[in-house]
């Protein structure tokens, strides 16, 4: 490929040099072929000609194959210098570029219609010298390391001299570590000193071995009253013995102040109550919501001071439970929790997230058995007496030693379930099922009426009705929904009372 210079006429017969010129390493814009340049070698500069060159035009097609090698005596460039003419500016730039190597020559402007010249290879950039920079970085690192070591040695010397040290051992917990209020650990630590383990033993008969069991209770006041379940102390109520053990290992004798079989609540009194007792705070069970966190403390299977956690999984759960001796059943509209409760937890507190008592753990539902306190394990269904009800009962027992129950003055069927609570045809011993001039009679209820709601709570059986009645106090006025002869009606009943369990 060749280029042409506008305005310069080429001679008819260009002179032939006696020897082929040595091609420069960097191709000039006018060259059609160039010799390869090997890395690491630099070609010698070509002397500038003293005559103006004439350019022979040798047209070539870009798409044609490369030409055959020229003979040894033929020139390898398409341009020869004619004597007596000054070199063209392009050739001067090329010669300077081939001699100096930098800066690269400006690109040649080809004539109109001529193929573009081959791209010139830019000479390699001069190699940067990085040795000084690396040495400077290494020197800076050594200086910084020396300064850091000096500071560490100075700090260590100050620590050895009795001064404060900034080093904290990873194997030692901070001495002032405190758990945040409201955590399970913090609530348990606050409540545990007020939770006791109760050992109950019966009086025995004619030198025989005494029966007994283990349960839980909690400090109710500073006078030494302990609240627990009735079924925990029932075996020791007549001639038996009771002992109460605190978490610090100290034990005290106790006696029964009062028991309520129907509520399954009992109150004990320490015979020699120590000073500084800390009663557990009482919450409000009416404000409890499903999903609230719960903490249960007790002595499951005799393992005192056991703490388990869960949530309130249901409210107003009707539960009828009885102790293992087959004694009188108790009825409650219970708080249901999935906190692990087992035999031995009975009578222990069910706490909310703030550490306040919201219930007294009383019964569990076990696989293959009904509600009660038998020696079966927890399946995540535990039931607690709401503390609002337990508080009223405890106050009655401390004051009079006897429980007081609200009543409607009617006997209901305790075996049927699903259709409501049906008023029986007759009462105990053939008496009337509706007490004359009693609350139910005054409200117009009769035998055969089916009570389906009590204070807007649905009723599906006799035990459910009793559980709901016992959440109220004597004298409360409650709306009752009932069915008679297929028709629904409502009435308002003012609750009466009954004192004692017999």
Q: Assess whether 457 carries a catalytic annotation.
A: no
In a domain, 271, yes or no: yes
Do 395 and 413 lie in one domain? The reply is: no
Q: Bridge partners of 404?
A: 499
Pick the catalytic residue: 264, 323, 338, 352? 264
Residues 140 and 125: their CA atoms lie apart, in Å, by: 29
The answer to whether residues 393 and 490 belong to one domain is no
Question: Is the preceding omega at residue 103 within 30 degrees of 0, hence cis?
Answer: yes
Q: How many helices (H) and strands (E) does the chain have?
A: 7, 22
Is the CB of residue 31 less than 8 Å from the CB of residue 80? Answer: no
Q: What is the dihedral of CA 144, 145, 150, 156, to 10 degrees?
A: 130
Is 384 inside any structural domain? yes
Does 247 fall in a domain? yes
d(CA 227, CA 232): 11
* Residue 227 backbone dihedrals phi, psi, to 5 degrees: -100, 135
CA 346 to CA 368: how far, in whole Å? Answer: 20
pLDDT of amino acid 111: 53
- Domain housing 410: 404-499
Whether residue 376 is contained in a domain is answered as yes
Residue 231 falls in the annotated catalytic set: yes
Residue 413 phi, psi (nearest 5): -75, 125
Question: Domain boundary at 118, 134, 150, which?
Answer: 118
Same domain, 252 and 383: yes
Residues 202, 203, 206, 209: is their CA dihedral positive or negative? Answer: positive
Helix (H) or strand (E) holding 309: strand 306-321
Among the listed residues 196, 200, 206, the one whose alpha carbon sits nearest the alpha carbon of residue 236:
200
**Residues 240, 383 within the same domain:** yes
Torsion of CA 134, 139, 145, 147, to 10 degrees: -150
Residue 70's pLDDT is 43
Residues facing residue 267 across a β-bridge: 227, 258
Residue whose C-alpha is closest to residue 470's, from 412, 388, 399: 388
Residue keyed to tokens 């204070």: 455
DSSP 8-state class, residue 414: S
* Dist CA 299 CA 340 (whole Å): 11
Three-state helix/strand/coil letters over 198-263: EEEECCCCCCCCCCEEEEEEEECCCCCEEEECHHHHHHHCCCCEEEEECCCCCEEEEEEEEEECCC
- The enclosing domain of 419 has a CATH number of 2.30.42.10
Catalytic annotation, pick one of 81, 346, 362, 378: 346
Catalytic residue among 31, 231, 330, 433: 231
145 falls within a domain:
no
Residue 224 domain flag: yes
Q: Is 313 in the same domain as 412?
A: no
Residue 47's Cβ-count burial label (10 Å; 0-12, 13-18, 19+) is exposed
Could you tell me the sign of the dihedral formed by the alpha carbons of 76, 82, 83, 86, in that order?
A: negative
* pLDDT by 10s per residue, the chain, length 502: 444 444 444 444 444 444 444 444 444 444 333 434 434 434 444 444 444 444 434 444 444 444 444 443 434 433 433 344 444 444 444 343 344 455 555 555 555 555 555 555 555 555 555 556 656 655 665 555 656 665 665 655 555 555 555 555 555 556 666 778 779 999 999 999 999 999 999 876 555 556 778 999 999 999 999 999 999 999 898 889 999 999 999 999 999 999 999 999 999 999 999 999 999 999 999 999 999 999 999 999 989 999 999 999 999 998 887 654 545 678 999 999 999 999 899 999 999 999 999 999 999 887 755 554 445 666 778 999 999 999 999 999 999 999 999 999 999 998 887 789 999 998 888 889 999 999 999 999 999 999 999 999 999 999 999 999 999 999 999 999 999 999 999 999 999 999 998 7
Are 264 and 229 in contact by the 8 Å Cβ rule? The answer is yes
From the CB of residue 85, how many other CB atoms can be counted at a distance below 10 Å? Answer: 14
In angstroms, the CA 161 to CA 149 distance is 18
For 158-173, give one letter per residue: b (16+ CB within 10 A) or e.
Answer: eeeeeeeeeeeeeeee
Do 395 and 463 belong together in one domain? no
Distance CA 386, CA 49 (A): 117
Domain membership of residue 175 (yes or no) is: no
Write the CATH number for 349. Answer: 2.40.10.120
pLDDT of residue 13: 45
Same domain, residue pair 107 and 253: no
The answer to whether residues 296 and 242 belong to one domain is yes
C-alpha of 221 from chain center = 38
Asked which of 352, 382, 400 is the last residue of a domain, the reply is 400
Say yes or no: 299 and 422 in one domain.
no
Q: Which two tokens stand for residue 184?
A: 């399970």
Among residues 355, 383, 400, the one where a domain terminates is 400
Shared-domain flag, residues 427 and 298: no
Contacts 24+ apart (CB under 8 A), 32-37: 32/1, 32/2, 32/58, 32/60, 32/77, 32/78, 33/76, 33/77, 34/118, 35/76, 37/121
Query: Are residues 237 and 264 part of one domain?
Result: yes
Residues 325 and 232 in one domain: yes
Cα(101)–Cα(126) distance, integer angstroms: 11
Residue 200 lies in a domain: yes
Cβ-in-10-Å burial (0-12, 13-18, 19+) of 494 comes to: middle
How many domains is the chain partitioned into structurally? 3
Nearest alpha-carbon partner for 14 in 63, 53, 48: 53
């Amino acid at each position: 490929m060749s280029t042409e210079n506008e305005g310069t006429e080429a001679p008819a017969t260009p002179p032939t040099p006696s020897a082929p010129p040595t091609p420069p390493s960097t191709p000039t814009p006018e060259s059609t072929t160039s010799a390869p340049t090997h890395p690491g070698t630099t070609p010698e500069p070509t002397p500038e000609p003293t005559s103006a060159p004439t350019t022979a035009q040798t047209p070539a097609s870009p798409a044609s194959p490369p030409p055959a090698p020229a003979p040894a005596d033929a020139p390898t460039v398409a341009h020869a210098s004619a004597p007596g003419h000054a070199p063209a500016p392009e050739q001067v730039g090329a010669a300077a570029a081939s001699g100096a190597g930098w800066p690269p020559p400006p690109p040649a402007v080809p004539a109109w219609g001529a193929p573009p010249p081959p791209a010139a290879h830019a000479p390699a950039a001069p190699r940067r010298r990085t040795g000084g920079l690396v040495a400077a970085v290494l020197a800076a690192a050594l200086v910084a390391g020396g300064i850091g070591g000096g500071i560490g040695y100075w700090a260590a010397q100050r620590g050895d001299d009795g001064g404060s040290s900034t080093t904290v051992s990873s194997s030692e917990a901070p001495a002032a570590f405190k758990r945040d209020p409201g955590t399970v650990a913090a609530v348990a630590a606050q409540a545990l000193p007020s939770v006791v383990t109760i050992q109950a033993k019966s009086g025995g008969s004619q030198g025989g071995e005494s029966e007994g069991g283990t349960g839980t209770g909690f400090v109710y006041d500073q006078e030494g009253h302990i609240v627990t379940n009735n079924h925990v102390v029932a075996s020791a109520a007549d001639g038996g013995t009771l002992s109460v053990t605190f978490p610090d290992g100290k034990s005290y004798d106790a006696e029964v102040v009062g028991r309520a079989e129907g509520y399954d609540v009992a109150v004990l009194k320490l015979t020699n109550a120590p000073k500084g007792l800390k009663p557990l705070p009482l919450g409000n069970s009416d404000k409890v919501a499903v999903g609230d966190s719960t903490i249960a403390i007790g002595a499951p299977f005799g393992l005192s001071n056991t703490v388990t956690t869960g949530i309130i999984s249901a409210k107003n759960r009707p539960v009828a439970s009885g102790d293992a001796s087959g004694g009188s059943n108790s009825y409650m509209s219970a708080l249901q929790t999935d906190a692990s409760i087992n035999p031995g937890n009975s009578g222990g507190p069910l706490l909310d997230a703030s550490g306040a008592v919201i219930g007294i753990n009383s019964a569990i539902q076990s696989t293959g058995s009904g509600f009660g306190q038998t020696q079966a394990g927890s399946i995540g269904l535990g039931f607690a007496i709401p503390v609002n009800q337990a508080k009223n009962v405890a106050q009655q027992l401390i004051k009079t030693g006897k429980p007081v129950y609200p009543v409607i003055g009617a006997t209901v069927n305790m075996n049927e379930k699903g259709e409501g609570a049906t008023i029986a045809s007759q009462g105990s011993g053939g008496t009337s099922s509706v007490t004359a001039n009693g609350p139910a009679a005054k409200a117009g209820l009769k035998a055969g009426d089916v009570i389906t709601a009590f204070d807007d709570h649905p009723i599906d059986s006799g035990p459910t009705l009793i559980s709901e009645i016992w959440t109220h106090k004597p004298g409360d006025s409650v709306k009752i929904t009932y069915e008679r002869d297929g028709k629904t009606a409502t009435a308002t009943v003012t609750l009466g009372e009954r004192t004692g369990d017999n």
